Chain A
Amino acid sequence: MAENREPRGAVEAELDPVEYTLRKRLPHRLPRRPNDIYVNMKTDFKAQLARCQKLLDGGARGQNSCNEIYIHGLGLAINRAINIALQLQAGSFGSLQVAANTSTVELVDELEPETDTREPLTRIRNNSAIHIRVFRVTPK
């Protein structure tokens, strides 16, 4: 993303270190237990799936199982989040249900100046996010 610049810095080119709003803020009703899972494209899919499964099942000796978990995905990870939710549902023999919400998240890009005379600028982009609630229902 570097723009070409003349040697002597004549052109006031600005670089683009992208600064995301780092952890997208958790929804207001933040549960005390870590029921929230943020999905990204870097971690292995199977690992993320296993983590969600473990949260729902009750994990190691200390953790109680959560009745519901929230899966969040941003941008490209929306696909993955949906995939994980559906796989959880498929593997649960009908005891899990999903409910999804979408939202728009603002991402901030910071443009740092190259020369002394310019001020840093911020640019805002919008990106879509999905929040899927996976919860256990008692079969009637």
Chain B
Amino acid sequence: MSNAKERKHAKKMRNQPTNVTLSSGFMADRGTKHYNGGGKSFQAQKQELLPGTSRPRHSKMIHHSPVDPDVNEQSSSKIMFKKKGGWKAGPEGTSQEIPKYITASTFAQARAAEISAMLKAVTQKSSNSLVFQTLPRHMRRRAMSHNVKRLPRRLQEIAQKEAEKAVHQKKEHSKNKCHRARRCHKNRVLEFNRRQKKNIWLETHIWHAKRFHMVKKWGYCLGERPTVKSHRACYRAMTNRCLLQDLSYYCCLELKGKEEEILKALSPMCSIDTGLTFAAVHYLSGKRQGSVILYRANKYPREMLGPVTFIWKPEWTPGHASESRQLWIWLHPTLKQDILEEIKAACQCMEPIKSTVCTPESLLTPSQEKSQTELPDERIGKKRKRKDDGENAKPVKKVIGDGTRDPHQPYSWVSPATGVIISDLTMEMNRLRLIGPLSHSILTEALKAASVHTEGEDTEKTPHHWWIETCKNPDSVSLHHKQEAIFELLGGITSPAEIPAGTILGLTVGDPRINLPQKRSRVLPNPEKCQDNEKVRQLLLEGVPVDCAHSFIWNQAICKNVTENKISDQDLNRKRSELLVPGSQLVLGPRESKIPILLIQQPGRVTGDDRRGWGSGWDVLLPKGWGMAFWIPFIYRGARVGGLKEAVVHSQYKRSPDVPGDFPDCPAGVLFAEEQANGLLEKYKRRPPAKRPNYVKLGTLAPFCYPWEQLTQEWESRVQAQEKSPVASSPHGEESNLKREKVPCTPTPEKSDQLSDELGMSLSSPSEPREVMDTERPAQMGTEWVTGPAATSSLLCVLR
């Protein structure tokens, strides 16, 4: 008998009473293949959990003389033992006849030993894992090894017992704090402010940091992907439920001025060939969100800058013909520098508006001179030295919004000529994106429209004066009710894709933290809300009427007010604890914050026949400071959170190009391609030479980057060569030749020397509008004619 076998046998038998033997292969040699029918029925009695399928197997076994040890082990392992181990009662080697009947009490007495053994084994944990390793992954917490409160209540006792075991005892700690704790900053908020200086943190940063792999990109610290393995889960969330993302890193540029001036400045930057521009009727009225590709002024099709989305502020009273309009342009942070410069040049807005840097607070703390950044008055966050803790009563606040920007740089420019004011509103607003069919349910459950302020409560001093003022105006009140009605209708619509693309709905909501559910649960679509009536039909056909797209978030002063008067979480919780009936709804009445938000519908997939509308969702725009207040209620209603990786997957499945990776001709795309190539090259070099893929042999010309310029140059030269042969065909002739897969033809370059990277870029850039156009016009198969400026006029038809 081998040693290993002995040990294995001993391990199996260690919890058994002595009269039990193992009929595993170990003992099978001894020829004990008999079965005690009593033992078998004991097993059958004991386990109610035994699935029905094994019972017939049991009865089969009784008739079989060669006992199958595997089945035996398997069936008894189902009883309650974790180890495999069949047994048969009775002395080994004896064959007994199967009794025809048994008496329960004598039987149980006889089996008492086994019963006690079983009970003992149940209480003893036989596996090597600690109790918190048995928890599912999403319930494990980092600190639970030394802090039992982090575990669910039922496990806390066991964990405490385990912790007291000598094995897990740590050394005695000194009374003073440990090395690390001593170095920890006294004031956590100050520390966070300091850390944010290099890479800006979003408002939900700490939430993400606990659950995501973070990455520092584009000047922000963003969550790349969740730490749990959730690629499929996120895909399923996007398809069937709801995925939530924090897109607050998207930059917003605001243009204020007369409509004609703005349009005049912006129209050279975009071209009608790539789609509808800023001036399209339904975008101009503020009804819908538009998207456009920007180029340098008059340089289309070359020198693309990148794709942007934009919203016009709807005119408050349509007949009013108010001259001043507001336009918000949303762009990816990589594109911001170039586009900002270009817009400034286009609007001739070179003069920066000096932010009023009056710093009365800084006078109080002269020691602050040492610190570089003296934050001007309008910033929320303030930085103070540790020593000043005792002096000033005002607590340090977290840096949000404007505080994240360099105070010395201007962020507002005015043009004396045209009267257009450009402001950079980066990080002034939060943008949360919900994707998936359940986003409607989550939105309608989490957000409740603000209650209208009635006259009687006027006497109380509330900080929400703006709302009181609004409520006095009957037009505003009726508008609010209309918006509320439309919002309620949303709950009954199954999927965001049913609503016209880019619909905008403005709303004023109450504080979503007030009706936060106790437990995190998943919201289900409510079937009662699915009414098939006229209003829903109108909503689906025509979208939201223009006046309902109005929202107070356009008003900077109101946003600031709302941010400053936010009740902190601590105060809110304190109020909750003071409730008479714990757990009931907290009612704040007029003191409740009213937050203006903007809801923008994102169309999902629009091209192709398959799965139209996949990945549609809503974007929620909030004023700064309220990010976490809206984030947690959405999560508590069952939204799953995705990071940058999920965003890439989303645009990939949606068949839309992803900034900046899919726009290789804009400067941001070039940078991205370079970084990607570097990264891939590093990875390649890290492998030992013998294990690297041999790209020469594989025939890969460019393993790390896409050589777009080379490609387009080769096309050009090929076409030139073709052109030199007989006919320099006219453009119309070319039109008929073109098929889908064919490579483009007939540029007529007048100076072929000018074929530099620039032209290469320009050749590829019409392909970009093609790509983007494809998302808007699925069935277009026509040619794309580009007539650039006279010098290098090239008629190109680049097809995909």
Q: Indicate, yes or no, whether A interacts with B.
A: yes
User: Using Cβ atoms and an 8 Å threshold, which residues of chain A touch B495?
Assistant: 22-23
Q: A78-86, A92-100, A111-119, A132-140: which lies at the B interface?
A: A111-119
Evaluate contact between A118 and B541: CB separation under 8 angstroms. no
* A2 and B779 within 8 A (CB): yes
Which residues on B sit within 8 Å (CB–CB) of A17? 606, 776-779
The answer, among A1, A28, A112, for a CB contact under 8 Å with B527, is A28
Partner of B779, one of A15, A25, A120: A15
Q: Give Cα distance in the complex from A118 to B283, angstroms.
A: 11
Complex Cα gap A114–B277 (Å): 10
**B273: A residues at CB distance < 8 A:** 9
- Chain A residues with CB under 8 Å of B277's CB are 116
A68 close to B (CB within 8 Å): no
B288 shortest CB reach to chain A, Å: 8
Instruction: Check if A19 sits within 8 Å of B613, measured CB to CB.
Output: yes
Interface residues of A in 11-50 (CB under 8 A from B): 15-23, 25-26, 28-30, 42
In the assembled complex, B276 has its CB within 8 A of some CB on chain A: yes
A1 in contact with B530 (CB, 8 Å): no
- B781 in the interface (beta carbon within 8 A): yes
Residues on the A chain within 8 Å of B785, using CB: 7
Establish whether residues B613 and A122, one from each chain, have CB atoms under 8 Å apart when the complex forms.
Answer: no
Q: Is B50 an interface residue (CB 8 A)?
A: no
Does A101 touch B at the CB level, under 8 Å? Answer: no
B281 engages A117 (CB within 8 Å): yes
Q: What residues of A have a CB within 8 angstroms of the CB of B497 in the complex? A: 19, 22
A30 touches B530 (CB 8 A): yes
* Distance, CA A122 to CA B499, complexed state (A): 11
Assuming A2-B780, A15-B777, A108-B540, is B281 touching A21 (CB within 8 A)?
Answer: no
Nearest Cβ in chain A — how far from B50, in angstroms?
14
Partner of B281, one of A18, A106, A116: A116
> With a CB–CB cut-off of 8 A, which chain B residues contact A113?
276, 280-281
> A28–B404 Cα gap in the complex (Å)?
50
CB–CB A116/B279 < 8 A:
yes
Question: Distance in Å from the Cβ of B779 to the closest Cβ of chain A?
Answer: 4
Cβ < 8 Å to A, chain B residues 745-786: 776-782, 785
Bound complex: CA of A124 vs CA of B528, how far in Å? 25
Q: How far is the CA of A25 from the CA of B500 in the complex (A)?
A: 17
Q: Is B199 an interface residue (CB 8 A)?
A: no
A25 engages B532 (CB within 8 Å): yes
| B494 contacts A1, C-beta separation under 8 Å | no
B residues within 8 A CB of A42? Answer: 610
Q: How far is the CA of A42 from the CA of B610 in the complex (A)?
A: 9
Give chain A residues whose Cβ lies under 8 Å from the Cβ of B491. Answer: none
Q: Does B458 contact A (CB under 8 A)?
A: no
Given the known inter-chain contacts A113-B276, A115-B272, please indicate yes or no for A124 contacting B494, CB distance below 8 A.
no
Cβ of A4 under 8 Å from chain B: yes
Interface contact A29-B527, CB-CB below 8 Å? yes
**B498 close to chain A: CB less than 8 A:** yes
What distance in Å separates the Cβ of B87 from its nearest Cβ neighbour in chain A?
28
Main secondary structure of the interface of A (DSSP, over half): loop
Give the residue name and chain of the A residue nearest to B735 (CB).
Answer: A7
Q: Tell me the smallest distance from the CB of B778 to a CB of chain A, in Å.
A: 6
* Across-interface contacts of A19 in B (CB, < 8 A): 497, 606, 612-613
Q: Do B779 and A16 have beta carbons less than 8 Å apart? A: yes
Residue contact A22 to B613, C-beta cutoff 8 Å: yes
A125 in the interface, Cβ–Cβ < 8 Å? no
| Distance (whole angstroms) from the CB of A61 to the closest CB of chain B | 9
- Give the total number of A-B pairs whose CB atoms are below 8 A apart: 82
Say yes or no: B272 contacts A116, CB within 8 Å. yes
**In whole angstroms, how far apart are the Cα atoms of A78 and B273 in the complex?**
41
Q: Nearest chain B CB to A40's CB is how many angstroms away?
A: 10
B77 vs chain A, min Cβ distance (A)? 18
CA A22 to CA B499, docked complex, whole Å:
10
- B381 interface contact, C-beta 8 A: no
Is A5 close to B, CB under 8 A?
yes
Q: B469 at the A/B interface (Cβ < 8 Å)?
A: no
Q: Are A22 and B779 in contact (CB under 8 A)?
A: no
Contacts of A120 in B (CB 8 A): 282, 500
CB distance from B437 to the nearest CB of A (A): 7
Nearest CB of B to A1, in Å: 4
* Cβ distance A20 to chain B, nearest Cβ, rounded Å: 7
- CB neighbours (8 Å) of B606 from chain A are 17, 19
Q: How far is B604's CA from A19's CA once the two chains are assembled, in angstroms?
A: 11
Q: Is B542 in the interface zone, CB < 8 Å from A?
A: yes
Select A30's contact among B493, B527, B779, B782, beta carbons within 8 Å.
B527
CB distance from A37 to the nearest CB of B (A): 15
A75 to chain B, nearest CB (A): 14
Of chain B, the residue at the smallest CB distance from A42 is B610
* Shortest CB distance B27–A (Å): 34
Closest to A124 in B: B541
Chain A proximity of B678: nearest CB distance (Å): 39
1/0 per residue, CB under 8 A from A, across B251-277: the answer is 000000000000000000000110011
CB distance from A62 to the nearest CB of B (A): 14
Instruction: Render B452-496 as a binary contact track against A, CB cut-off 8 A, 1 for contact.
Output: 000000000000000000000000000000000000000001110
Once bound together, how far apart are the Cα atoms of A119 and B776, in whole Å?
15
> Which residue of A4, A9, A22, A117 contacts B498 across the interface (Cβ within 8 Å)?
A22
Nearest neighbor of B778 in chain A, beta-carbon distance: A17
Chain A: minimal CB distance from B262 (Å):
14
On chain A, the residues within 8 Å of B613 by CB distance are 19-20, 22
Inter-chain contact B779/A21, CB cutoff 8 Å: no
CA distance A118 to B281 in the complex (A): 6
Residues of chain A with a CB closer than 8 A to B528's CB: 28
Q: A17-B606, A26-B494, A110-B500 are in contact. Are A119 and B782 (CB under 8 A)?
A: no
Cross-chain contact A2 with B782 (CB below 8 angstroms): yes
- Smallest CB separation, B210 vs chain A (Å): 32
- Which chain A residues lie closer than 8 Å to B540 at the CB level? 21, 108
Q: Provide the bound-state CA to CA distance between A70 and B282, in Å.
A: 41
Nearest Cβ in chain A — how far from B608, in angstroms?
A: 10
Bound complex: CA A23 to CA B779 (Å): 22
Residues of B within 8 A of A2 (CB): 777, 779-782
The reply to whether A20 and B612 contact each other, CB–CB distance below 8 Å, is yes
Contact B530 A4 (CB under 8 A): no
Chain A residues with CB under 8 A of B500: 110, 120, 122
**Contact A108–B272 (Cβ < 8 Å):** no
| Chain A residues whose CB sits within 8 angstroms of the CB of B777 once the complex forms | 2, 15, 17, 112
A17 CA to B498 CA in the complex, in Å?
13
- Please give, as numbers and ranges, the residues of chain B lying within 8 Å of A7 by CB-CB distance: 785
Is the pair B279, A28 in contact by a Cβ cutoff of 8 Å?
no
Query: Among B282, B437, B541, B776, which residue has its beta carbon within 8 angstroms of that of A23?
Result: B437
On whether the beta carbons of A116 and B276 are closer than 8 Å, the reply is yes
Closest-by-CB residue of A relative to B272 is: A9
- Complex CA distance for A23 and B527, rounded to whole angstroms: 14
CB distance from A108 to the nearest CB of B (A): 6
The chain A residue sitting closest to B284, CB to CB, is: A116
Q: Which residue of A lies closest to B795 (CB)?
A: A7
Residue of B nearest to A8 (CB): B785
Closest B residue by C-beta to A29: B527
**Nearest residue, chain A, Cβ from B502:** A120
Q: Are B776 and A112 in contact (CB under 8 A)?
A: yes
Which residues, 276 to 330 on B, are CB-close (under 8 Å) to A?
276-277, 279-282
Q: Which residues of A contact B282 (CB under 8 A)?
A: 119-120
Q: Contacts A116-B280, A119-B282 hold; do A25 and B494 have CB atoms under 8 A apart?
A: yes
Give complex CA distance A110, B502 in Å: 13
- Docked Cα-Cα span, A29 to B280, in Å, equals 42
12 A–B contacts, CB within 8 A, in A order: A20-B613, A25-B494, A30-B525, A30-B527, A108-B541, A113-B276, A113-B280, A116-B281, A118-B281, A120-B282, A122-B542, A124-B541
8 residue pairs, one from A and one from B, having the closest CB atoms: A30-B527, A116-B280, A1-B779, A22-B613, A22-B497, A7-B785, A23-B494, A2-B780
**Given A112-B777, A116-B277; 8 other pairs, CB 8 A cutoff:** A2-B779, A2-B782, A7-B785, A17-B776, A26-B527, A28-B530, A116-B281, A117-B280
Q: Which A residues are closer than 8 A to B by beta carbons?
A: 1-2, 4-5, 7, 9, 15-23, 25-26, 28-30, 42, 106, 108, 110, 112-113, 115-120, 122, 124
